[in-house]
Amino acid sequence: MDNIFGQYGVLLDVNLSTKEIKKTPIPKEDLKNYLGGRGLGMKILWDRVKEPGMDPYSPENPLMFMPGPFSGLPIPSSSRTTIITKSTRTSPKNKKYPHSSTISYANMGGFFGPEVKFAGYDGIVVTGKASSPVYLLIEDDKVEIKSARAYWGMGTDMFDKALIEKFGKGYQSCYIGPGGENVIPYASVLNTAARAAGRGGVGAVMGSKNLKAIVVKGTQQPKLAQHKKYLELLAKARQAFRDDKEGVEYWRSGGTAHALESSSDNGTMAVKNYREGTFKEIEKINTKAARTQIWKRDFACFSCRLACKKSGFAKGAYGGVIHDGPEYETGTMVGANLLISDLEGLNKIIAICDDYGIDIITTGGVLGFLMEARERGLIDLDFLDGIDLKWGAIDASIDMIHKIVRQDGVGKLAGLGVKALAEHIGNGSEEFAIHVKGHELAAWNVNTRAERMMITYGTANRGACHLNSSSPTRQNHNAMQDSLGACSFAGAWYKGDISYRHFIEAITGVEHTDEEFAMIGERIFNLEKLFNYREGFERVDDQLPERFFKDAHTYGKGEGILATHQDFDNWIEAYYKERGWDLKTSKPSPEKIAELGLNFTV
Amino acid sequence: MTHKESSRRDFLKKLAIGGGGVVLLGKYNFLFGNQPKNGILKAIIVDFDKCTGCRTCETACSAFHHQIEIEGEMLNGLGNPKLANIQVYHYNPDVDIPSICANCPDTPCVNACPVTPDPITGHKAIFRDELTQSIRTNHSVCISCGSCSRACESERTGVIKMNSISNHPEHICDHCGGNPQCVMNCPYDALSFREVDVDGTYFGLSPEEIAEKLFERYYAGEEVVNG
Ligand code: SF4
Ligand code: SF4
Ligand code: SF4
């Protein structure tokens, strides 16, 4: 590739229907304007999905595995891989096409993205559908489609062990479990049996293609534009982490799990299907409890300084599982949100979800919704196929998860998520079906910080997403960060003379002013939005569930606080104005489109 | 009992009886130059309780040993982990094992090398370097037989791999000439450069063997004394 530094300008392009495997050049302009990861994936999605309304399960839906320009370099905490595709989870209120859905991106840490980079690719795109289960084996230039019959049906933990046994040191992999195989719409993709690209149904799309796994080993690294400058930045970045013992220790000692307690105290936690914001039994599942009862070791992703992953081993009635202990999202969604406070039981639910390869956030949302519907008498034991789903019920939760993944009875419906469940049950149940655009909310509750959380969830392009942020500036920044291969948890350290922009300059040689660099994230975010708009998502689809306008928390810091519809309208209009989007339709204005170089979308 | 276990046990037993390297000399074919100069042999020792499997050590080792020339200046490379002398093995259940040359006092690798020692230096194609006390190779006399690699594999850590193109042994830690990059760069202080302790719990073991011990230690509730 001419004059491309820090990247290869090469996409591994695999069609599972035709078995064609080729290297597709990536235009230099796209590398500059979209970097890699989420951004470059979005650009490729736009280029390949030419018409709106494509069925996400159709063979044509491209499934992309994207590292970024940081991937494979030991820049602290740059391990992330983004998986991008057209969503299986979302739908607009007014369906323009039978299969209208948003874009989807899900992000995982670990070691997969760096290895893709070592193999000589800036990304992998898979289209088509294999006639029987396969996996992709990549060893630098050698790429093979192999039979995965022997592995089909294996949970992710057993499969991970099988891959380690078969390939061993030097290979990395990501894969689906039975959730993805059975095309459960909220199936996830995992690597190292615990690190999940959980959201938005990326595992379902992978399963629909009969693709069990991608196994990769590589030996290469691209040449950098300014090697010496990069080394200087790297030394400074390493020092910045070394100097901040306290900041690093926060992650090391608990990671996001620390937020379990603080969020509960602040009334910002999803408790009892978002009815409350504080969990009265929080001390049973907080970091202290996990440290003493469950966590055994701290683990880091590739070249990471934070080691926020905690592997654990529970004893007791639900013991015997060796798996990652609860972090904030998992601990809340299948813990506090269901009023489950038995740490061992909670750990077991997490392990089962990961073993099946299903999104734990959505699973927690679905279980919470069903528990509430049952409590309100909108559904009965018959509806639940005899599963006694009540607040705090661990065994019943586990039974329901089995049913969902096996697509058995009520599990079929529950596998579609809360929006579909509410449509089926009716009787006003949509008011407590906690989703935006069909995608369930994450573990941060809304009422106590309504403006911030409503904009965060309402305007996220993959449907409700806690990592979206509430201001356009932050949202753009996050989109850029997701496009580097960098981890958002370490983002705070990359400021001043070691900001991402400096690294990109040293790695790729492309110079950006601060303004131009900020525009990269804005471009990505708007391109996602334009894709969604073309699918028929408009202002009404940014709306939050009625619960957040009706049900104030009855205790805790958020007690009595409620936003009105008028508040929300004011906030969203201010947001659209700042974005340069049409107030009625939410469409980005022609001026904005032109300014961002997105004229190819019109 | 596997061959490896037996040879390791014999080795430890004999070391205990003989009280160290001096007595073993001759009997175990120690050659001039294999002997620690000042009696202290050092190696990179891992504290497995602290290691998080981040693989920063691999990248630091690789970057230092595979430098590139930029405008006449030799600079650290990008740190491709495949080229490192330290290799971090990952297992499920979660344990990560950085594997490095143990700098064995009795050097099974050197003993296995069939090349006639140089009459002046006493060095075979693989030998203990007097200055750094680390195991070094001399590719110009190496006959690519792989004996060193097999000996290390069957008796100790198994770090030596034959380069797939040159077919010479590689991945043997040289202590970075006394300034171990992996130790300096490990973000979790899991590595130290200190005296070889053949009685240490993990001395000379392969990553699989260490993993077994750590599975027990962390996930079976059985405490194993850390070494
Ligand atoms: S750098 Fe340290 S913590 Fe990371 S893998 Fe190496 S020894 Fe373990
Ligand atoms: S670990 Fe292997 S290479 Fe190192 S001294 Fe022992 S036998 Fe030789
Ligand atoms: S001491 Fe140097 S050569 Fe040895 S493993 Fe560490 S970095 Fe590599």
Cis peptide, bond prior to residue B93, ω within 30 of zero: yes
Q: Identify all chain A residues contacting B207, using CB atoms and an 8 Å cutoff.
A: 169
Tens of pLDDT, residues A406-459: 999 999 999 999 999 999 999 999 999 999 999 999 999 999 999 999 999 999
Q: Identify all chain A residues contacting B78, using CB atoms and an 8 Å cutoff.
A: 72-73, 221, 224
Q: Identify all chain B residues contacting A298, using CB atoms and an 8 Å cutoff.
A: 52
Any idea which architecture A10-217 has in CATH?
4-Layer Sandwich (3.60)
ipTM comes to 0.93
- pTM value? 0.93
* Whether residue A191 has pLDDT greater than 70: yes
Answer whether A160 sits within 8 Å of B92, measured CB to CB: yes
C-alpha A105/C-alpha A86 separation (Å) is 8
* Minimum CA–CA partner of A192 in chain B: B92
Which two tokens mark A182? Answer: 């059975």
Tens of pLDDT, residues B162-218: 999 999 999 999 999 999 999 999 999 999 999 999 999 999 999 999 999 999 888
* Minimum CA–CA partner of A217 in chain B: B82
Mutate to test the interface with B, among A227, A305, A311 (most CBs of B within 10 A): A227
A409 contacts A387 by C-beta, under 8 angstroms: no
Q: Is domain A448-601 given the CATH code 1.10.599.10 in the classification?
A: yes
Does the beta carbon of B176 lie inside 6 Å of ligand 3? yes
A128 contacts A120 by C-beta, under 8 angstroms: no
Greatest alpha-carbon span in chain A: 68
Decide the pairing of beta strands A195-197 and B169-170. unpaired
Answer whether B54 sits within 8 Å of A298, measured CB to CB: no
Q: Identify all chain A residues contacting B218, using CB atoms and an 8 Å cutoff.
A: 296-297, 311, 313
Instruction: Say which DSSP state A558 is in.
Output: T
| Every domain of chain A and the residues it spans | 10-217, 246-440, 448-601
For chain A, the distance separating the N- and C-terminal CA atoms, rounded to the nearest angstrom, is 30
pLDDT of B31: 36
H-run or E-run covering A298? strand A295-299
* Minimum CA–CA partner of A172 in chain B: B90
Cα A152 to averaged position of ligand 2 atoms, centre (Å): 41
Cα A405 to averaged position of ligand 2 atoms, centre (Å): 49
Tens of pLDDT, residues A559-590: 999 999 999 999 999 999 999 999 999 999 99
Cis peptide, bond prior to residue A545, ω within 30 of zero: no
Does the beta carbon of B190 lie inside 6 Å of ligand 2? no
C-alpha A76/C-alpha A247 separation (Å) is 14
Q: Reduce the secondary structure of A132-147 to three states and give it as a string.
A: CCEEEEEECCEEEEEE
Does the beta carbon of B85 lie inside 6 Å of ligand 3? yes
Does the beta carbon of B88 lie inside 6 Å of ligand 3? no
In DSSP terms, B95 is beta-bridged to: B91
Using CA atoms, how far residue A387 sits from A367, A374, A377, A379, in Å, is: 12, 11, 15, 12
Answer whether A300 sits within 8 Å of B221, measured CB to CB: no
In DSSP terms, B162 is beta-bridged to: B169
Which two tokens mark B137? Answer: 């190779």
H-run or E-run covering A439? strand A439-440
Cα B132 to averaged position of ligand 3 atoms, centre (Å): 12
* Helix axes of A343-356 and A394-406: crossing angle, nearest 10 degrees: 0
Q: Among residues of chain A, what percentage have pLDDT more than 90?
A: 89
A86 contacts A61 by C-beta, under 8 angstroms: yes
Q: Which residues line ligand 1 (CB under 6 A)?
A: B 51-57, 88, 96, 98, 186, 188, 190-191
Please identify, in words, the CATH class of the domain defined by A246-440: mainly alpha
Does the beta carbon of B43 lie inside 6 Å of ligand 2? no
* Helix axes of B3-18 and B147-155: crossing angle, nearest 10 degrees: 80
Residue located nearest, by CA, to atom 7 of ligand 3: B61
Please identify, in words, the CATH class of the domain defined by B2-11+36-219: alpha beta
Cα B176 to averaged position of ligand 2 atoms, centre (Å): 16
Tens of pLDDT, residues A221-276: 999 999 999 999 999 999 999 999 998 888 888 888 888 999 999 999 999 999 99
